[in-house]
Every structure is written in C-alpha cells, then in structure tokens.
Amino acid sequence: MSKVVYDGWMVRYGRRKIGRSYIHMRYFVLETRLLAYYKRKPQDNVVPIKTLPIDGNCRVEDRGLKTHHGHMVYVLSVYNKKDKYNRVTMAAFNIQEALIWKEKIESIIDQHQESQGTNGNKYNSFEYKSDMDNGRNSSSSDHESQFSAAEDEDDSHPNLLRRTTIGRGPPESVFDWTKEIDSDLANQNGSNQVFSRKYWRLLQCQNGLRIFEELLDGDLLPKSCSRAMKAVGVVEASCEEIFELVMSMDATRFEWDCSFQYGSLVEEVDGHTAILYHRLQLDWFPTLVWPRDLCYVRYWRRNDDGSYVVLFRSREHENCGPVPGYVRAHIESGGFNISPLKPLNGRPRTQVQHLMQIDLKGWGVGYVSSFQQHCLLQMLNSVAGLREYFPQTDKRTAPRIPVMVNMTSTSVSSKRNQKLQETPHHRTRSLDQIRAANRNASMMDEYSDEEEDFQGGDQEVMPSSPEREMKKTALEEEPLDQIDFSIFSGNLRRDDRDNSRNCWRISDGNNFRVRSKNFCYDKSKIPAGKPLMDLVAADWFKDTKRMDHVARRPGCAAQVASEKGLFSLIVNVQVPGSTHYSMVFYFVMKELTSGSLLQRFVDGDDEFRNSRMKLIPSVPKGSWIVRQSVGSTPCLLGKAVDCNYIRGPKYLEIDVDIGSSTVANGVLGLVIGVITSLVVDMAFLVQGNTPDELPEQLIGAVRASHIELSAAIVPKLEPDTTECGRILSTM
C-alpha cells in the first residue's frame, strides 16, 4: 500500500466548455505513486473523484495566477508527458501552500527518476527554461499546444535536468531591468547597458530607503521619458507576503501605497501576464493639476532562488481608452524585485527594489521641473510603506491572494457602456456578478462531481450528454430576476448614486470580511461576496412608543412576499428616545434550503439565534469620532443587545432593541445627532462555528446614506395577535 506523503484541502480550478471558470474545494492526497482528490476527507475505502499515477515522466506546470469572480488563485497543473491530456489542475488561495505541494510532488517525481536510474530504466527528462529573452508574449499557462519544443526534444537530450515549467517569459515590449546584476548580459546587449549597476548613483536616503537615479547621457534619454529612479529597502517579511501585497489592487493597497487610488483588471492574458488599469493619487496641487492614470502590462515570475520579479510597461488596450478628467501617463519601464535575505533573529528579511521610469505627461511636466521627480519619489515611497506595514500587523497567517476587480465589465470603456445600457434590473445584476466574489469559492459544491472534467482549457474532457450540461448550466446561472422586485416598496427610497441623500442601496458584499472555509484552522477571513437573500425594501418609522413586529403592517414587503410564496427575513433596528425610531430592512428569497445554517437559524430556538446572529457595521463616511466609536468589528447581536424573534408562516422578524445596552446606547447618542452626515454600512449573517458551516455567507448587506429624521413616518400596525405580541404588550 502506498504511503501518504502529503494531504490537505486545495482548490480545484478549471474552465468549462461554455467558457466559465470554476473553483471547488477538494481534499488532495499525494502518495508515493499516486495523486488523488476527494470531495471530502477520505475515510475507509472511499473512491477518489480522480487519480493521476506519479512516475518519473510527470511534470508540474506553473499556471500562475488565475482570476475567478474577482478571486485570484495560484494554479499548478500536474501531468504525465506521455499523456498530456490526463492532468490534475490544483490551486491555492495563498502561494505558500501551492509551493509546498509543488515541492512535495517534485520530490516524488525525483525519487522515481532516481530509482529507475539505478535499475537501468532511464526516464527521458528535460530542462524547460523560461525563455525570458525570446520575445514571445504567450505563456504555457494558457495554451495546451505550447508544451514547448524543449519538451518534444527530450529524446535527443536525455541528460537534461527536469525543471518546473513557468511560462515563456515577459512580453517582448517589457524590459527585464532586474537582470542588471548580470554583467555578461549587459555586455551582450548594448541597449541594456544603461541599466547596469555602474550607471546608478545614490541620490538620497529617505524614509530608511536608498533612492538611486539613473546616470545617462542626455543624448541617449528619450525626450518622452524622465530618468529612471529606484528605491531599495529591507522589509521584515517573507517574499511571498510582500509579493501578494504588491500584486493587490484592493483595499489593502491603501495601507502601504500612498500613490494608489484605484486599480482593476483589464485583461488576463495568462497566469503570468495581465493588463491593468491604475489611477494615481498624487498630492501635487490637486486643484490645478489633473490626476493621472495608467494602462500597463504586468508580468511576474518566481525564480529558483525564491525571489519574485514583477515588471511593468505601458500599453494601449481597446477596453481601456482615455478616461475623462485624467491624463494618461506612460511607464517606460518599472516594477519590483523581491529577493530573500538571511533571517535576522529568526525573522524573515527581504530586499525590495522598486524601479520606475515614467512620463507623467501634461503641462505640469514641461513647466514645473520638480513635478516629475516629486511624484516619482511619492510612488517609490511605497517600499517604505511595505516596510512599516508588517511590524504593525499582529496576525501573520498565510496571506490570501487578493481580490481583483475586472475593469472590462465595470463600464470603464465606452464599448462596454453601450452593452450595459439595458434594463436597470439587468445592469444591477451584471455589476453584482462582476464585482461580487463567488460566494461558493470555498464551498463544497453538491453538483461538482458532474463538473469535474468540464475544463476546456485543461483538456480534461469526458463525454457528457447535452441534458447533463444544460442541467449544470441551469444550476450555475439560476436567474436572479425570477423574483419581481417591482412589487415591493418601502417609504425609504432606494438610490444607487454615490452622492444621494436620505436613501438606501445594496452594499457590495466584498466590503465585508467573513470566516473562510479554513477559519477553524488558520483564523483566515475572505471577502463575503454575494448575499444569500435580496434586500427588496426599507422602511423608516417613528412613533411615541417602541414599534415591535412591524411585519404585521398591511401591505409591507414581508406580507407581499408571503402572498407570492417567498420567504422574508425582517431586521427591525429599534432606536429609543423621546421619539422612537425604527429602521426596517426586508430580505427576501424564494425558499429556505433544507438543512442549511440559515434554515436552522430561522427554525431554531432563541438561545441558538442569540448565539449566531451577527452584525458587521461600518461607517465609510462620517466624523472620525463616530467611525472610531462604531468600528467595523463583527458583533453577535443577541449577546450585545436584546433581540426579539417573531416567526411567521413565511417570515422571521428580528427586533433589535439598541437601547437595551448601555454601551450601544452611548454610541447611538453620538450617531443620532449627526445621522444626516453619515453613510452607514450594515451586513447581517449567521455565524458559522464548525467546518461544515463555513465559509460564512451574508444574509444581506445595506448602505444607508444621510438619513433625515424628519423623513420617518408613523406606521399603521394591525393588532398583534401572536404570542410574542401578547407578551410584549404586558411588559
């Protein structure tokens, strides 16, 4: 019996015939002669979903980073060079885990090669180099036909060492400035000599960084470009932690890059190359100087010594045209070189080099000579931001590869704008699908056994009937507009514009972080993604007494949903005072899923509900003292304040009495006085405590903007005939 070498949860990544990618959590087991994966952790004699025999002819192909509904995963593909179409593609949400699996699989392959070599049976092996200088802009991570001429030449070069495939190098237009330390290369290529080490001089030391400036004859410097500058610093963190921050284009980048305003994905060329859109936040007379933006190609690779290289170069793209109000800057060369250093006192250390050669364009560059250098220094200071970020981070768990918003679907280009000019329902649904991370990214999909081999790009194709494929497509793309939202209404209007007042809108689920599938083991959290229920209406009530059981109001959204056979969850946030206020949110879904955590919460007792109902608050716009008082820490509502639960035939109402807590009442006193100047986000969910209840999923999320107290109305409530109502009336 084969010995288990390594096992654990990994992500199954693939692409179906219809072009959609998918990711599923699977339990992988690596044995001395076999790689297999299961739907759940195997017990007894469970048959795996798929197996791949491991021998000396197997290879591990680095597919790089792949995007799925905004989430990025690090993909590895294991195959036998004698049968390239029989392969297992696996991925991880953090690079460290992927690298561990890669090393374990490679060690098994090496053992087979050595054992066969001693027995006189020699495996054909090869060295698949990355061809960094061949100018080809394609990658083996994207094209199955590109298993390289080097691999086809195995028989003629039997003594070459096996190498992990890592793609075919940067596009021809991207200059690899990190090779400046190779003097032989510099001597061979005269055009690169300007980047040799002897042509750099120390310009200044700033924020603990060494800032270098390129030394170059004026005749050799293109008129459209400034001198290249680079910052060099030491960061106490691993290369993987720094690399994943450098690759981020989400909210985490604001914590270390002061020049970052916004970033998104334009096109994913392959696992190592992408086209990005990037807006710069520059503080040089912002009222006079127009802001800058960039469209550039980004290539990255991991070297054998554990270092990472990230290269930038501007380029044009049909889906990333000029943006009104912005000047399009031009990067001639740039990027990061992240190299490991010897640990100090047991802590990892990394040298980070950040180079930029950029033309910021516009009138400011020509008339104010210091404008270019000032802005360039501000961008290079991101290395200092990286250095300061890690000492202030208490939890040093394996970082998750960041979320990437896809620009091609967020109406940046005029071509996409035209496609989105459809019904408001379709437009809202499209943006939700684009921006929200797939809520099932870390879930075990009950239908995934049928989907394992529909990978298209992975060539793991097996015969299937049209009926089965149509069934899978229907399960995946279940239309959200089967619920007619036009039948619901509330006295507080919905308005999706950013600067609207006295209104509500659906908040992006990715603004909130919830427990991941692996939270029980590593305390990691992920963006929440799309909620389970749809927020269809909101009411803003006032009265001289506390308003309980508002679902009994005739014509309210809960009663309308009940008439249509839909299930509702009503959250009634009660604000006490001389005048009592209630902010009521109505969440609707077609029906509860039997056995789900939400169904257990709805039908459970009050003790279970109090231990699980969670609120994640946030104040994105408001005074500093209010934002600090409210915070963004998740709170179990039933533990913090009194909650009353009213279970109706097709609804559950939760009355949250904010005034029952002295602490909450104190915070509320701050909020209510300045409520018209606040934008408040609230996400509601049922807390998951065990692996089978994870990852957590939002019930719903809402943003209330600049609420006016005078807009509240007095509701007309029917007499409460429920048992809960009778108890409350006697209190």
User: Tokens 């005269």 correspond to what residue?
Assistant: 190
Sequence-ordered strand ranges (E) for 142-228:
200-206, 209-214
Q: Tell me what the mean pLDDT of segment 588-603 comes to.
A: 93
**Is the pLDDT score of 472 beyond 80?**
no
Average pLDDT over residues 595-609: 93
Burial class (CB in 10 A: 0-12, 13-18, 19+), 462: exposed
- 462's CB contacts (< 8 A; 6+ apart) are 453
Question: What pLDDT is stored for residue 172 in this prediction?
Answer: 61
Q: Residues 232-251: pLDDT tens digits? A: 999 999 998 899 889 888 77
Residue located via tokens 């590895």: 76
Residue 269 has pLDDT above 80, yes or no: yes
The pLDDT of residue 491 is 93
Cβ density class 107-139: b for 16+ within 10 Å, e for less: ebbeebbeeeeeeeeebbbbebebebeeeebeb
Q: Which two tokens stand for residue 379?
A: 């961008």
187-196, 230-239, 294-303, 351-360: least confident range? 187-196
DSSP 165: B
DSSP 631: -
Residue 645: C-alpha distances to residues 32, 144, 438, 548, 602 (Å):
55, 56, 30, 10, 9
Ranges 65-79, 94-108, 516-530, 612-626: which has the least confidence: 65-79
The Cα-based distances of 731 to 244, 480, 546, 725, 728 in angstroms read 56, 42, 12, 10, 5
Question: CA 95, CA 306: separation in Å to the nearest integer?
Answer: 12
User: What does the alpha-carbon distance between residue 515 and residue 453 come to, in Å, rounded to a whole number?
Assistant: 29
φ/ψ of residue 560, rounded to 5: -65, -45
For residue 345, pLDDT over 90 is answered with no
Check if the beta carbon of residue 138 is closer than 8 Å to that of residue 146: yes
**Exposed / middle / buried, residue 444 (Cβ in 10 Å: 0-12, 13-18, 19+):** middle
Q: Which residue has the higher pLDDT, 569 or 188?
A: 569
pLDDT of residue 586: 96
Quick one: three-class SS letters along 428-485? HHHHHHHHCCCCCCCCCCCCHHHCCCCCHHHCCCCCCCHHHHHHHHHHHCCCHHHCCH
Please tell me the distance from the alpha carbon of residue 16 to that of residue 34, in angstroms, as a whole number: 25
**pLDDT tens track for 312-340:** 889 899 989 999 888 999 998 889 999 99
**549/570 Cα distance (integer angstroms):** 9
Mean pLDDT of 211-228: 64
Cα 638 from Cα 629, distance rounded (Å): 20
pLDDT at residue 145, as a whole number: 34
Kindly tell me the sign of the dihedral angle through the C-alpha atoms of 163, 167, 173, 174.
negative
Q: Long-range pairs for 146-150 at CB < 8 Å and ≥24 separation?
A: 147/81, 147/84, 150/126
Average pLDDT across the chain, whole number: 75
Whether the full predicted model's pTM is greater than 0.75, yes or no, is no
Query: DSSP alpha helices (H): ranges in 239-311?
Result: 239-246
Q: Give the residue with greater pLDDT, 632 vs 429.
A: 632
Residue 46 φ/ψ, nearest 5 degrees: -70, 135
Nearest to 148 by CA among 124, 122, 166: 166
Amino acid present at 278: H
**Of 358, 356, 296, 361, nearest to 326 (Cα)?**
361
**300-318 per-position pLDDT tens digit:** 888 878 889 899 889 899 9
pLDDT tens figures, 658-700: 888 766 766 676 677 778 888 999 999 999 999 889 999 999 9
Q: Pairing state of beta strands 679-686 and 698-705?
A: antiparallel
Give strand ranges (E) for 590-661: 613-621, 635-636, 642-647, 651-657
Q: Is 604 helix (H, G, I), strand (E, B) or coil?
A: coil
Write the CB contacts of 232 (distance below 8 Å, at least 6 apart in sequence): 209, 210, 212, 351, 352, 353, 383
- Provide the pLDDT for residue 426: 37
- The CA angle 27-29-32, to the nearest 5 degrees, is 175
Alpha-helical segments (H) within 173-300 = 183-188, 239-246
Tell which residue, 377, 206, 385, 374, has the closest CA to residue 284: 374
- Output the six-digit token pair for 364: 């400011």
The pLDDT assigned to 688 comes to 93
pLDDT digits (tens, 9 = 90+) for 383-432: 999 999 888 765 554 455 555 666 554 443 344 344 334 433 333 333 34
Is it the case that residue 726 has pLDDT exceeding 60?
Answer: no
User: 């076999």: which residue's tokens?
Assistant: 34
Omega cis (within 30) before 695: yes
Strand partners, 232: 210, 353
**Mean pLDDT lowest among 432-441, 522-531, 612-621:** 432-441
Q: Which helix (DSSP H) or strand (DSSP E) does residue 709 occupy?
A: none
Could you tell me what percent of the chain has a pLDDT over 90?
Answer: 29
Considering only residues 109 and 182, tell me which one the structure prediction assigns the higher pLDDT: 109
For residue 232, what are the CA distances in angstroms to 52, 84, 186, 386, 387? Answer: 45, 43, 21, 12, 11
Q: Tokens for 451, please give them.
A: 């989907």
Per-residue confidence (pLDDT) for residue 171, from 0 to 100: 66
- What tokens were used for 472? 């899978």
pLDDT value of residue 551: 93
> What is the arithmetic mean of pLDDT over 43-54?
87
Q: Which strands, in side-by-side order, build the sheet including 679-686?
A: 503-506, 698-705, 679-686, 613-621, 635-636
Residue 601, pLDDT score: 95
Lowest mean pLDDT among 212-216, 326-330, 378-382, 581-585: 212-216
